[in-house]
C-alpha cells in the first residue's frame, strides 16, 4: 500500500512539473508574441513617421542639390494686383526645366536694367507661396512710397519699375532662392507667424507650406496693416484658416477706415503686440517668426524677451530695409579698436582712415569716390562681395544672410577690425 501511495505521489509530482513547464512555455510564447507585436507596431509607427518627415527632409536636401549658380532667365507668367500698390508676379523658368524647392521664408535676388539708371540694380524679394510648386515661383512686391515729410522725393526705384514696366512675357534675371530666415520644416513645435504690411510675404510662404504639410502643426497667423486698402489676399487668408482647424488667423488694423467691418475684414483695431499674444495664446511656448517694419520688429522682439521667450525661438526677417538687424551695431569695443585704423583700397590706390561714423566699408568707399558694386545694401544679395587682401572685418549684425566665401567680405554690412586691405 505504501508503495502505491509513493508511486501516486511521484506521478503527481511529475504531472505538476509538466504542468508548470507548460505554463512557463505558454508564458514565453505570450511574451514572444507581445514582443513581436510591439516590434510590428514600432515598425508601422516608424513607417508612418517616415511618410510624415520625408517630404520635409526632401525640401531641405533638394534645395542644396539642384539650385543653380549665378543668374537664370525667368519669364513673367502672371501679374496680379493684390491690394492698393501691391502686385504678385508669377515667374516660370525660361528654359522650362523644373525648379528646385526652397525653404519657406527665403527670397529671390533680381538683377534689373532700369531706365535712367546708370548701372544695373539688384534687389531681393521674398517668395510668397509654398515651395511645393515646381513650375513657378511667386513674389509679391509693394510699391515703396516716397519718404514722409520729404518734398518731391521719388517712390522706390525698383518697386516702381516692377509695377509700372514689368509685364507678362518679360524676361528677368534671377538668382536661386536663398536666405537664413526660414521656417524650421523639421520641427514639430507650434508656430506663431507675424507679418506687418508687406512683411506678410515670407510669413505667407510659411503659412501655405504648413497648410499642406503632414503633421498639422499648431499655427497662429497675425497680420497687421493700417486698413483694408493694404489688406492683401483677404478672402484667401480667411479660406485657408477655415479649411485648416490647426490654423488660427488674427488680422489687426491699426487705423481702420469707416468702411472696414470689424469681425469680417479685421479682428482687432490695434497693432500686433505681445499683449495681444498673451491674451490669445496664453502661453509663450511657440516658435515666433516676425517680418515687418523696423519699429514693429524691434518692439516685438524686445517684448517677447520680457515675456520669457528664449532668443533662439524668436526669428526675424534678416534682409532689406525692413530688417531689425539692419539697425544693429557691432560691439562698442570693436568700433573703438578700429577707430583710426587705415583701410587700403588696393586697386583704387587709396588709403583712408576709418571712423565709426562711416557706417560701413561700402559707405566709406563711396565717400572717397571708390566704386564697389552694391545691391540690397543689407547683406543679402552678395553684389558687394569684396576680396580681403589683409586684415579682418566685423559685421553690423552678426552673420550676414548671404553666405560668404572665406577670404571675402560683404562691404555693405562690414566694418574693419583694425588695419584692413581690400581688393577694390
- The residues near 419 (Cβ < 8 Å, ≥ 6 apart) are 341, 342, 343, 344, 390, 391
- Pick from 370, 357, 369: nearest CA to 422: 370
Cell numbers placing 122:
539688384
Global pTM?
0.77
Cell numbers placing 232:
492683401
pLDDT average, residue stretch 356-372: 86
- Most confident stretch, 85-94, 333-342, 361-370, 377-386: 85-94
pLDDT at 396: 79
pLDDT score of 50 more than 50: no
Contact status, residue 348 vs residue 323, Cβ threshold 8 Å: no
pLDDT at 66: 61
pLDDT average, residue stretch 297-318: 92
- Pick from 146, 223, 168: nearest CA to 192: 223
Residue-wise DSSP of 336-405: HHHTT-EEEETTTTEEEE--GGG-SHHHHHHHTT-----SSSSSSS-TTEEEEEES-EEEBTBS-SSPPP
> Which band of pLDDT confidence, cut at 50, 70 and 90, is reported for residue 340?
confident
Task: Look over the chain and give the mean of its residue pLDDT values, rounded to a whole number.
Answer: 83
- Pick from 381, 388, 392: nearest CA to 416: 392
- Most confident stretch, 32-46, 48-62, 116-130, 390-404: 116-130
pLDDT score of 28 more than 60: no
84-114 confidence digits (pLDDT tens): 899 999 999 999 988 998 999 999 999 999 9
216-259 confidence digits (pLDDT tens): 899 999 999 999 999 999 999 999 999 999 999 999 999 999 99
pLDDT at 145: 80
> Which band of pLDDT confidence, cut at 50, 70 and 90, is reported for residue 29?
low
Cell numbers placing 27:
508564458
Greater confidence, 167 or 27?
A: 167
> Which band of pLDDT confidence, cut at 50, 70 and 90, is reported for residue 289?
very high
Q: CA neighbours within 13 Å on the CB side: how many for 406?
A: 0
Contact status, residue 219 vs residue 247, Cβ threshold 8 Å: yes
- The residues near 249 (Cβ < 8 Å, ≥ 6 apart) are 221, 223, 237, 238, 240, 241, 267
- When mean pLDDT is compared across 27-36, 46-55, 97-106, 351-360, the lowest value belongs to 46-55
- When mean pLDDT is compared across 46-50, 120-124, 331-335, the lowest value belongs to 46-50
> Which band of pLDDT confidence, cut at 50, 70 and 90, is reported for residue 8?
low
173-192 confidence digits (pLDDT tens): 999 999 889 999 999 999 99
- Pick from 423, 403, 400: nearest CA to 67: 403
Element (H, E) at 141: strand 137-142
Q: What is the DSSP letter of 312?
A: G
Strand order in the sheet with 191-196: 247-253, 219-225, 191-196, 287-291, 314-316
pLDDT at 241: 95
Cell numbers placing 361:
566699408
pLDDT at 170: 97
pLDDT score of 273 more than 80: yes
pLDDT at 71: 92
Cell numbers placing 300:
516685438
Angle, to 10 degrees, between the axis of helix 234-243 and the axis of helix 200-212?
30
- When mean pLDDT is compared across 9-13, 43-47, 59-63, 106-110, the lowest value belongs to 43-47
- When mean pLDDT is compared across 54-58, 74-78, 200-204, 217-221, the lowest value belongs to 54-58
Amino acid at each position: 500500500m505504501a508503495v502505491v501511495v509513493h508511486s501516486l505521489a511521484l506521478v503527481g509530482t511529475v504531472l505538476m512539473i509538466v504542468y508548470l513547464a507548460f505554463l512557463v512555455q505558454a508564458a514565453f510564447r505570450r511574451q514572444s508574441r507581445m514582443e513581436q507585436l510591439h516590434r510590428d507596431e514600432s515598425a508601422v509607427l516608424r513607417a508612418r513617421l517616415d511618410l510624415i518627415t520625408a517630404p520635409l527632409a526632401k525640401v531641405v536636401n533638394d534645395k542644396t542639390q539642384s539650385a543653380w549658380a549665378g543668374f537664370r532667365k525667368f519669364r513673367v507668367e502672371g501679374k496680379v494686383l493684390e491690394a492698393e500698390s501691391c502686385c504678385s508676379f508669377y515667374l516660370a523658368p525660361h528654359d522650362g526645366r523644373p525648379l528646385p524647392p526652397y525653404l519657406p521664408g527665403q527670397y529671390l535676388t533680381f538683377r534689373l536694367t532700369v531706365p535712367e539708371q546708370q548701372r544695373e540694380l539688384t534687389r531681393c524679394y521674398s517668395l510668397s507661396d509654398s515651395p511645393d510648386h515646381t513650375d513657378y515661383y511667386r513674389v509679391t512686391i509693394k510699391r515703396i512710397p516716397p519718404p514722409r515729410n520729404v518734398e518731391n522725393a521719388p517712390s522706390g526705384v525698383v518697386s516702381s519699375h516692377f509695377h509700372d514696366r514689368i509685364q507678362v512675357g518679360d524676361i528677368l534675371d534671377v538668382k536661386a532662392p536663398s536666405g537664413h530666415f526660414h521656417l524650421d520644416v523639421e520641427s514639430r513645435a507650434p508656430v506663431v507667424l507675424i507679418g506687418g504690411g508687406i512683411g506678410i510675404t515670407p510669413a505667407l510662404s510659411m503659412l501655405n507650406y504648413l497648410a499642406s504639410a503632414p503633421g498639422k502643426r499648431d499655427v497662429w497667423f497675425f497680420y497687421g496693416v493700417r486698413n483694408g486698402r493694404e489688406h492683401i489676399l483677404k478672402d484667401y487668408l480667411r479660406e485657408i484658416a477655415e479649411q485648416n482647424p490647426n490654423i488660427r488667423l488674427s488680422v489687426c488694423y491699426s487705423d481702420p477706415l469707416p468702411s472696414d467691418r470689424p469681425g469680417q475684414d479685421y479682428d482687432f483695431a490695434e497693432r500686433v503686440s505681445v499683449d495681444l499674444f498673451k491674451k490669445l495664446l496664453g502661453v509663450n511656448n511657440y516658435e515666433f517668426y516676425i517680418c515687418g517694419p523696423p519699429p514693429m520688429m524691434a518692439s516685438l522682439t524686445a517684448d517677447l524677451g520680457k515675456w520669457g521667450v528664449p532668443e533662439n525661438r524668436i526669428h526675424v526677417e534678416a534682409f532689406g530695409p525692413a530688417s531689425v538687424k539692419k539697425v544693429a551695431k557691432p560691439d562698442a569695443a570693436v568700433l573703438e579698436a578700429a577707430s583710426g585704423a587705415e583701410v587700403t583700397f588696393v586697386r583704387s590706390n587709396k588709403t583712408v582712415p576709418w571712423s565709426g561714423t562711416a557706417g560701413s566699408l561700402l559707405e566709406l568707399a563711396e565717400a572717397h569716390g571708390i566704386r564697389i558694386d552694391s545691391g540690397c545694401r543689407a547683406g543679402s544679395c552678395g553684389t558687394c562681395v569684396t576680396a580681403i587682401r589683409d586684415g579682418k572685418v566685423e559685421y553690423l549684425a552678426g552673420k550676414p544672410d548671404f553666405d560668404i566665401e572665406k577670404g571675402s567680405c560683404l562691404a555693405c554690412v562690414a566694418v574693419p577690425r583694425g588695419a584692413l586691405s581690400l581688393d577694390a
